[in-house]
């Protein structure tokens, strides 16, 4: 992945629908997925790879998530065969706002693209926030920056 944050994201409408379903099905636990796009610029998210939350302690999955490294390798291979790149990860915060937690930042390998979803005010809806986590300040914790985004229809 490139170390330069995108100025703005274009996110496929169907990818957002998949994310909503992944997060809803995972409730009351955190749901998680990988974000896929056509190149490493991180400016366009066209597909989502749903993942299982493999956090070792099931009771903690309402506020923690982990992606299985083997699942990530399979997703990378699948994406590469289709001319796509894994751009970053997505996870839900069923009990809090769609902002990176201290643990999210601690476990993140910056620079990284991160999407966080949280239940919205309307029933069944989700609020999404995209974050770029930068490590440009050597020796300091990664700093998240919220990214503007728009929903689009990307032809697959």
Cβ-count burial of 22 within 10 angstroms (0-12 exposed, 13-18 middle, 19+ buried)?
buried
- In angstroms, the CA 148 to CA 131 distance is 9
Q: Which of 136, 140, 120 is nearest to 128 (CA)?
A: 120
The pLDDT value recorded for residue 2 is: 44
Q: How many domains is the chain partitioned into structurally?
A: 1
> Which segments in the chain show pLDDT lower than 70?
1-3, 123-124, 136-141, 155-156
The pLDDT value recorded for residue 1 is: 42
Residue with tokens 């894994």: 86
User: Structure pTM?
Assistant: 0.89
Residue 51 inside a domain? The answer is yes
Residue 52 inside a domain? The answer is yes
The pLDDT value recorded for residue 106 is: 83
The pLDDT value recorded for residue 156 is: 57
Pairing of strands 9-12, 44-45: parallel
Q: How far is CA 98 from the centre of its chain?
A: 11
- Domain range for 100 is 9-152
Residue 97 inside a domain? The answer is yes
Residue 63 inside a domain? The answer is yes
Residue with tokens 């610029």: 41
Residue 1 inside a domain? The answer is no
CATH of the domain at 63: 3.40.140.10
Cβ-count burial of 66 within 10 angstroms (0-12 exposed, 13-18 middle, 19+ buried)?
middle
């Amino acid at each position: 992945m490139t170390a330069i944050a995108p100025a703005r994201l274009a996110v496929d409408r169907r990818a957002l629908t998949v994310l909503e379903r992944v997060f809803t099905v995972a409730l009351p636990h955190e749901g998680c997925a990988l974000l896929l796009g056509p190149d490493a610029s991180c400016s366009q998210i066209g597909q989502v790879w749903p993942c299982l939350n493999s956090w070792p302690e099931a009771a903690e999955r309402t506020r923690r998530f982990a992606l299985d490294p083997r699942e990530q390798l399979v997703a990378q291979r699948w994406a590469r065969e289709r001319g796509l790149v894994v751009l970053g990860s997505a996870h839900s915060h069923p009990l809090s706002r769609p902002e990176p937690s201290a643990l999210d930042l601690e476990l993140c390998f910056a620079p990284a693209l991160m999407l966080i979803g949280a239940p919205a005010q309307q029933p069944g809806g989700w609020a999404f926030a995209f974050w770029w986590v930068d490590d440009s300040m050597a020796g300091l914790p990664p700093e998240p920056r919220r990214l503007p985004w728009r929903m689009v229809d990307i032809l697959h």
